Amino acid sequence: MTPPADPPPSRPRIRALPRPLIRALPRPLIRALPRDERHGLAPLLAAYATEMRGTLAGATVPTPEAQAALLARHPAAELLVAEQDGTPIGFAVLFDLPELVFARSCGMLDDLFVAPASRGQGIARALVAAACELGRARGWSHLRWIVPEADAGAIALYERIASRADWRSYVIRLDPGASL
């Protein structure tokens, strides 16, 4: 005769949260950022540069104001900004490029950044989706970007939302102090 089986372990009861605590965070506003407003990105650009310095090879450290001024005067740079209550919390820098093989245009996502305090809320994904929406409206054949191999967090997101390209990336550092 077999001994009786032990009763199944009791599961902890998960109590439902009261309704007021289950509240979605307000969705950030994502919009194109005109040249005359790009100076307002200086604090976010400083955070981005600080984070990327550990990944990139250059040693030159520009001011955030110089970075914002470059974006304000660059003739081809386009910016999307994610804002929460009027404060920039993320950005994407885009370029519209010719795609000669198919006689079309494509998009190049050059920089994508979300403030550390705002991560994990889908903001980077929303910025990429907004870039794709812009590209579809312009007839882009695709949106492409490169990412440093050491940027594991970004790569994890990109593996979920995009296909890995069959291209290699190369660089000739013309100014090693201010390069990738």
Res. 154: pLDDT tops 70: yes
Instruction: Write the CATH number of the domain with boundaries 28-162.
Output: 3.40.630.30
Encoded tokens for 51: 């984070």
pLDDT at 55: 74
Instruction: Break the chain into its structural domains and give their ranges.
Output: 28-162
Average pLDDT for the chain: 86
> What span, in angstroms and rounded, lies between the C-alpha atoms of 100 and 26?
41
Answer for the pair 113, 44: CB distance below 8 angstroms, yes or no.
yes
Res. 13: pLDDT tops 70: no
> pTM value?
0.81
pLDDT by residue (tens digit) across 129-150? 999 999 999 999 999 999 988 8
Q: Look at residues 30, 115, 125 and name the one whose alpha carbon lies nearest to residue 79.
A: 30
CA torsion sign for 119, 121, 122, 127 is: negative
CB neighbour class for 21 (10 Å; exposed up to 12, middle 13-18, buried from 19) = exposed
pLDDT at 84: 95
Answer for the pair 113, 43: CB distance below 8 angstroms, yes or no.
no
pLDDT at 132: 97
CA distances from 2 to 5, 6, 7, 8 (A): 8, 12, 15, 17
Res. 113: pLDDT tops 90: yes
pLDDT by residue (tens digit) across 65-104? 999 999 999 999 999 999 999 999 999 999 999 999 999 9
Answer for the pair 61, 45: CB distance below 8 angstroms, yes or no.
no
